[in-house]
Structure 1
Amino acid sequence: MIAFNFNIIFTDESLLQDDDYDSQLETIKVTKATENTLQSQFVVNSGWIDMSGRKAMYLAKTEFALSVAPGSQWALEIDDVLILFWSIDHSIMYYQPLAQFTPERLRFWVCHTVLPLKFALEKRYEMLHVGAVEVADRPIFFSAESFGGKSTLTDYFIQQGHALYSDDSLAIYAEDNTFYAVASYPFHRPYREPEVLGYQVDNVARQAKPLYAGYVLEKGAVDASINIEELKGIEKYKAFHFSGFIDLDFFKAQHFLLRCALAEAVPMYKVTIPWSLERLPEVYSHIVVHSTVPR
């Protein structure tokens, strides 16, 4: 599987192996641990937190804020499912199956949670909690509150033939004051089932491209007019702020600077969405036209 512009190989899980491989990309192997790595080896933990329908816990070998140096070791324990272990800048991740382990749950937690965290810790990418697709060869993204229509709209764009960039974790990086979007994993879950990546998407963007625009979705009445207005100033910054993916304390200063830079570089618009599936084609048409008109 290709995800985040890496080959991801689940070496011990035949159900997760496929032919999607690019010899030009770096490879990360996900391998079953040969011996138990006990929780007591980790000196700090986040305590149990709610995550994707489970209790989960981050662990590290030293204080979280100091755990970003090359070779630093991290783990994520998902209660009664598995424990994932990895080192910063290393190309192998290990997992320890627990009672409710399945290969599909392994793939979910690796792709949905651990890879975004690993790349953020390594400062390869920053992550935005958004859906993203390609329109006229340019990536755009959708941001919304929980159950605010982001996944439904992303799914509709996919069904109309637009390439997928992100189900909900968009990788970005900056180069020469331009932010580039990188496609995440090739799955989409329109109904947000816990621990499920959803259906496999064949049309996935393969090339990093400049991030063109963002759209904040705002619920409207069933008969509301579809309105698109550009966000400015503090409202624009707040839109990027609430699109963050990883919320660990020691990332806060880094994320503040990132969001300020994004607000300077990337246009952001608010879209009033009539809360009716019957009007989804209208919403789609408005956004497509808006995102293809030269600025």
Structure 2
Amino acid sequence: MIVYGTKIKSDIDFPLNLSRETATCYELELSAKVPDEIKRSITSGFQIYSAHGRNVYFYSDRPFDGSEIGQPWCYEVKDVVRFYWRGGEEIIYYELDEKGDADLLSFWFIHLLLPLYFTLEEKYDFLHAGAVEVEGKPILFIAPSMGGKSTMTDYFIKQGHTLVSDDKVPTFIKDSKFMAVGSFPYHRPYRKFEDLGYHVDNFTTDFKPIHAFYVLESVDGNAEISFEEIKGFEKFDRLLPNYLFMFSYLKPKRLKYLSNMLNTIKVFRVQVPWDMERLGEVHDAICQHSEGIV
């Protein structure tokens, strides 16, 4: 299977319809054969967050102030699964707990563990956004929680646009361009715990330069649909909260990355009437606007 532009060899069958024909940057193995020495080397940790009704913990053999070659890691979803790996290696181990099964393993591995792993390994930088293609060019939707990002992404998919990412967009630099990487061919327009959503047939197969960012702002249902280019520091201010995993030791490098990205990619504020009946108008307006960007 291929997710996040990575070919993954696994000793467990994922109960998902995942792409085998998309472009790849990396290869990774997922194995149940956890080496005992990794378990023994884990000495410290903390609760990293609560998500999807679960408590999630993060462990290593030292205070969390960086990621080094050979450093052991453990990501634990309480009562469900633990993932182990060593820094610089391309194999992740898993250990199912009493409430774990293949479905839950698939969800946590794909949706939450891999973005964290790729960030720690400094392979991708992730943006919290929905992303689709318009005329073959990736555009990213940015919005606060419950701000319409998933609704907009869902509508574009249903109009035949290619899905790039439902929620987390991996990015990297190639030939001085900031590339968007397809995440996985599932979309979750609703908020059901531990569920990737519905399968999307029209999923991106290659890495393409990000064309534009659209910051969605809800307005009265009778208001006009309008666009305004965001410039200067406000661009940074809008995107920074949607830059995932801003770990302290990575912060200087990642702030530079984001600054360079925003120096080359335009950001637009689009006022979206809060009326589902007008989504078609919004879709048409964004498509027309995107096609006019040079």
**TM-score, normalisation: structure 2:** 0.92
**Do the aligned residues in 1 keep the contact of 2:41 with 2:72 (CA within 8 Å)?**
no
Aligned-pair identity (%): 35
Q: Does 1:104 align with 2:103?
A: yes
**Do the aligned residues in 1 keep the contact of 2:14 with 2:106 (CA within 8 Å)?**
no
Name the residue aligned to 2:242: 243
Name the residue aligned to 2:127: 128
- Deviation at 1:8? 2.4
**Do the aligned residues in 1 keep the contact of 2:29 with 2:91 (CA within 8 Å)?**
yes
What secondary structure is seen at the aligned counterpart in 2 of 1:154?
A: helix
- Deviation at 1:70? 2.7
Name the residue aligned to 2:78: 79
Q: Counterparts of 1:210 and 1:23 in 2: how far apart (Å)? A: 14
**Do the aligned residues in 1 keep the contact of 2:82 with 2:95 (CA within 8 Å)?**
yes
Name the residue aligned to 2:160: 161
In structure 2, relative to structure 1, the CA distance for the partners of 1:17 and 1:158 (3 Å cut) is: closer
What secondary structure is seen at the aligned counterpart in 2 of 1:107?
A: helix
Name the residue aligned to 1:12: 12
Q: Counterparts of 1:24 and 1:152 in 2: how far apart (Å)? A: 28
Q: Which aligned pairs between 1:22-41 and structure 2 lie closer than 5 A? A: 26-34=26-34, 41=41
Question: What are the Cα deviations for residues 173-210 of structure 1, in whole angstroms up to 9, with x where unaligned?
Answer: 12343211111111111113221111111211111111
What secondary structure is seen at the aligned counterpart in 1 of 2:145?
A: coil
Q: Counterparts of 1:126 and 1:16 in 2: how far apart (Å)? A: 25
**Do the aligned residues in 2 keep the contact of 1:9 with 1:29 (CA within 8 Å)?**
yes
Name the residue aligned to 1:115: 114
Question: What are the Cα deviations for residues 54-97 of structure 1, in whole angstroms up to 9, with x where unaligned?
Answer: 21011122332232x23322121111111111223322211111
Name the residue aligned to 2:276: 277
In structure 2, relative to structure 1, the CA distance for the partners of 1:250 and 1:271 (3 Å cut) is: same
- Deviation at 1:33? 3.5
Q: Which aligned pairs between 1:44-193 and structure 2 lie closer than 5 A? A: 44-67=44-67, 69-193=68-192
**TM-score, normalisation: structure 1:** 0.91
Q: Counterparts of 1:59 and 1:231 in 2: how far apart (Å)? A: 40
**Do the aligned residues in 2 keep the contact of 1:44 with 1:63 (CA within 8 Å)?**
yes
Name the residue aligned to 1:214: 213
Q: Counterparts of 1:66 and 1:196 in 2: how far apart (Å)? A: 31
In structure 2, relative to structure 1, the CA distance for the partners of 1:81 and 1:161 (3 Å cut) is: same
Q: Counterparts of 2:34 and 2:244 in 1: how far apart (Å)? A: 32
Q: Which moved more, 1:15-24 or 1:233-242?
A: 15-24
What secondary structure is seen at the aligned counterpart in 2 of 1:271?
A: strand
| AA of the residue aligned to 2:30 | V
Q: Counterparts of 2:20 and 2:72 in 1: how far apart (Å)? A: 29
- Deviation at 1:22? 6.7
Q: Which aligned pairs between 1:217-232 and structure 2 lie closer than 5 A? A: 217-232=216-231
In structure 2, relative to structure 1, the CA distance for the partners of 1:120 and 1:271 (3 Å cut) is: same
- Deviation at 1:9? 3.5
Q: Which aligned pairs between 1:261-276 and structure 2 lie closer than 5 A? A: 261-276=260-275
- Deviation at 1:24? 7.0
Q: Counterparts of 1:79 and 1:38 in 2: how far apart (Å)? A: 19
Q: Which moved more, 1:31-40 or 1:168-177?
A: 31-40
In structure 2, relative to structure 1, the CA distance for the partners of 1:152 and 1:19 (3 Å cut) is: closer
Q: Counterparts of 1:279 and 1:19 in 2: how far apart (Å)? A: 33
**Do the aligned residues in 2 keep the contact of 1:71 with 1:90 (CA within 8 Å)?**
yes
- Deviation at 1:29? 2.3
Q: How many residues align?
A: 294
Q: Counterparts of 2:139 and 2:22 in 1: how far apart (Å)? A: 25
Structure 1: runs of 5 or more not aligned: none
| AA of the residue aligned to 1:186 | P
Q: Counterparts of 1:165 and 1:23 in 2: how far apart (Å)? A: 13
- Deviation at 1:123? 1.6
Name the residue aligned to 1:2: 2
Question: What are the Cα deviations for residues 15-35 of structure 1, in whole angstroms up to 9, with x where unaligned?
Answer: 358682679764322222457
Question: What are the Cα deviations for residues 198-234 of structure 1, in whole angstroms up to 9, with x where unaligned?
Answer: 1111211111111110001111111121111100112
